[in-house]
Amino acid sequence: MIAPSILSADFARLADELAAVPTSDWIHVDVMDNHFVPNLTLGLPVVKSLLKVTDIPIDCHLMIEDPDRWAIGYAEAGAYNVTVHVEAADDPIALAKNLKAAGSKAGLSIKPGTPLEPYVDVLKHYDTLLVMSVEPGFGGQSFMADVLDKVRQARHLVDTGHLTLLVEIDGGINADTIEQAAQAGVDCFVAGSAVYDAADPGKAVEALRAQAAG
């Protein structure tokens, strides 16, 4: 699965930018609050507007403090998947239950330096695991191949029936890196600059998909 990140799109033309990637599996929307990460993007009002102009499932990545308070609104608005950071959540198990009760999938993200092992029991409550392959906050950074060990661990836990979730990766995914991520066991690839800096974003999505499939 390919999920273009609109962080690298033209924020003045978001409806057009979504229309440019019609075969995307999900649209990845990065919500940043200037506190959890040193950048500020967009929030619930913009997500509500995006939901009106596309039928592609919206994948919200909340890089915000206090997701226990704020994440539910995105689920209630109709986001397909709402991902929170384990480093920011006070009660990630309750949060997953609340997100699912509100009608979305629940996602848990881990920063590059955050290990997977302590959260395996928490992840039993989640539908997606978003492994960050850059420090969250900005598009266009270099892929951190070290995190592929965590992808392999998660893949093993899923394949052996210990977890039931999709493994998603975010950061530095492009034509040079997607194959190693695919081989490590990623299900869903977020790509921002590799899609929206391309001359034809729609073709870039298809090229990445073909590469991921090997």
Which residues have a catalytic role annotated?
A: 30, 170
d(CA 64, CA 33): 5
d(CA 58, CA 81): 7
> Is 59 among the residues that bind Zn ion (CB under 5 A)?
no
Tokens of residue 210, six digits: 């073909």
Dihedral angle, C-alpha 154, 157, 159, 165, nearest 10 °: -60
> Is 7 among the residues that bind ligand DX5 (CB under 6 A)?
yes
> What is the C-alpha R_g of the chain?
16
Closest CB 51 distance from ligand DX5, rounded Å: 18
Q: Which stretch binds Zn ion (CB under 5 A): 46-54, 89-97, 167-175, 203-211?
A: 167-175
Residues 6+ apart with CB under 8 A from 200: none
Closest CB 174 distance from ligand DX5, rounded Å: 7
> Is 192 among the residues that bind ligand DX5 (CB under 6 A)?
yes
Nearer to ligand DX5 by C-beta: 119 or 138?
138
Sign of the Cα pseudo-torsion (134, 178, 145, 123, in order):
positive
- Which residues between 56 and 95 bind ligand DX5 (CB under 6 A)? 61
> Is 137 among the residues that bind ligand DX5 (CB under 6 A)?
yes
Q: Which residues lie near ligand DX5 (CB under 6 A)?
A: 5, 7-8, 28, 30, 61, 134, 136-141, 170-173, 190-194
Q: Which residues lie near Zn ion (CB under 5 A)?
A: 30, 61, 170
